[in-house]
Amino acid sequence: MMVDIAYVMAQSQVMVPKLVQLLLAKNKTISFNGCLAQIGLILFIGSSEAFVLSAMAYDRYSAICNPLVYVMVMNKQFCFVLACGSCLLGVTISLLNTLPLLRLHFCGPHLIHHYSCEMPELLPLSCTDLFPNKMILFTSFSIIVIGCFFPIMFSYTQIVSTILKISSASGRSKAFSTCSSHMIIVTLFFLTGVGRYLSPATGSILEQVISLQYSIVTPLLNPIIYSLKNVEVKLAIKKMWERKSILSGT
């Protein structure tokens, strides 16, 4: 959970500082090297998060479907391997997509109708043949969908099947509570992030809103969504709300 939160917080730190700078500056420009750096970091963090979400789905599958061997399977060494593997795959996908951008020539205009540098907005500005870049991008996200989204769906199919077999209502509720926060994040991430990158850029307001959602809104909501299932956090919020009600009453 902490690894996933770290990834989404890092993604917001890649985009938000430059966004604030552009909003405050009169000259709203970014260098080509700065644009490549932003694209590379966004791809690295986004793809790494996808693999982390897939690993977290397997964690929940092991906890609910195979609870007797969970401690042996999801040990610290295996979790470390999953985290490092996610980072390595993220770096690979980022480099495979970012390095080919160096061969592109930009004849103008050099205007991006967006608040950040992302692949769908940068590619249409080039006067070079974009087929290799688009094929690499499509292949990369196909790997993410096949290697992450489908395993997540398979894990949750097995999880739901197991939960429905639980006789007690409290047991089913506890099992669903274990998975609910992760499923919310998976839905927000894949529906907006992956869908955004696999669709052509049009410069519409809707595209900017979608990018805003997965780059800023999701990182903002992520710690809240994960924390609300924590009993201690719930008790702290309840006490704070009760204290506020008492103070308002007096």
CA distance 43 to 117: 11
Residues in the chain: 250
pLDDT at 98: 93
pLDDT band of residue 14 (cuts 50, 70, 90) is low
Enter the tokens of residue 139. Answer: 């292949």
Cβ neighbors of 147 (< 8 A, separation 6 or more) are 51, 54
pLDDT, tens digit, for every residue of 105-155? 888 777 887 777 888 888 888 888 889 998 998 898 888 888 888 888 898
- Burial of residue 66 (CB within 10 Å: 0-12, 13-18, 19+) is middle
pTM of the model: 0.79
The CATH classification number of 2-249 equals 1.20.1070.10
95 has a pLDDT exceeding 90 = yes
> Residue 89 pLDDT more than 70?
yes
Domain ranges of the chain: 2-249
At 195-241, the pLDDT tens digits run 677 676 666 777 777 777 766 776 666 666 666 666 666 676 677 77
User: And the tokens for 146?
Assistant: 């096949």
